[in-house]
Amino acid sequence: MIYLGEQKEALDKYYSVISCWVNSKHLGRLKESNENGYKCDDLNCSVCTRGLKKLDSHDRFFDFIIPRLDEVIKAKPDEMLQLELKLRAEWSNNGDHNLKEFKDGCSIVLKENGYDRWFTDVKGLNYDLAEWLDQHTCTFCNRQYIFTARKNAGEKGITCQFDHWFDKGSRPLFALSFYNLIPSCSLCNSSIKSSTHFNTDEYLHPYIDKDISSKFKFSSIPNTATKYGITFLNESTMDAKTKRTLEGLGTKLVYSKHSEKELQDLIDLRLKYSDNYLKNLLENTFKSELNMTKEEKYRLIFGIELEEKKYHKRIFSKFKRDIISELLSIK
**Interatomic CA distance for residues 278 and 170, integer angstroms:** 50
What sign results for the dihedral spanned by CA atoms 317, 321, 323, 327?
Answer: positive
pLDDT grade, residue 276 (50/70/90)?
confident
* Distant-in-sequence, close-in-space partners of 44: CB < 8 Å, separation ≥ 6: none
Determine the distance from the C-alpha atom of residue 143 to the mean position of all C-alpha atoms in its chain, rounded to a whole number. Answer: 13
Per domain, the residue ranges of the chain are: 8-193, 212-328
Q: Which amino acid is at 80?
A: M
Q: Which residues of 164-184 are buried (b: 16+ CB within 10 A; e: fewer)?
A: bbbbbeebbbbbbbbbbbbbb
- Give the global pTM: 0.90
- pLDDT tens digits, one per residue of 137-191: 999 999 999 999 888 766 678 899 999 999 999 999 999 999 999 999 998 888 7
Determine the distance from the C-alpha atom of residue 288 to the mean position of all C-alpha atoms in its chain, rounded to a whole number. Answer: 39
pLDDT of 288 over the 70 cut: no
**Interatomic CA distance for residues 27 and 54, integer angstroms:** 6
| Mean predicted lDDT score pLDDT of the chain | 89
Task: Please give the angle made by the CA atoms of 327, 329 and 331, to the nearest 5 degrees.
Answer: 100
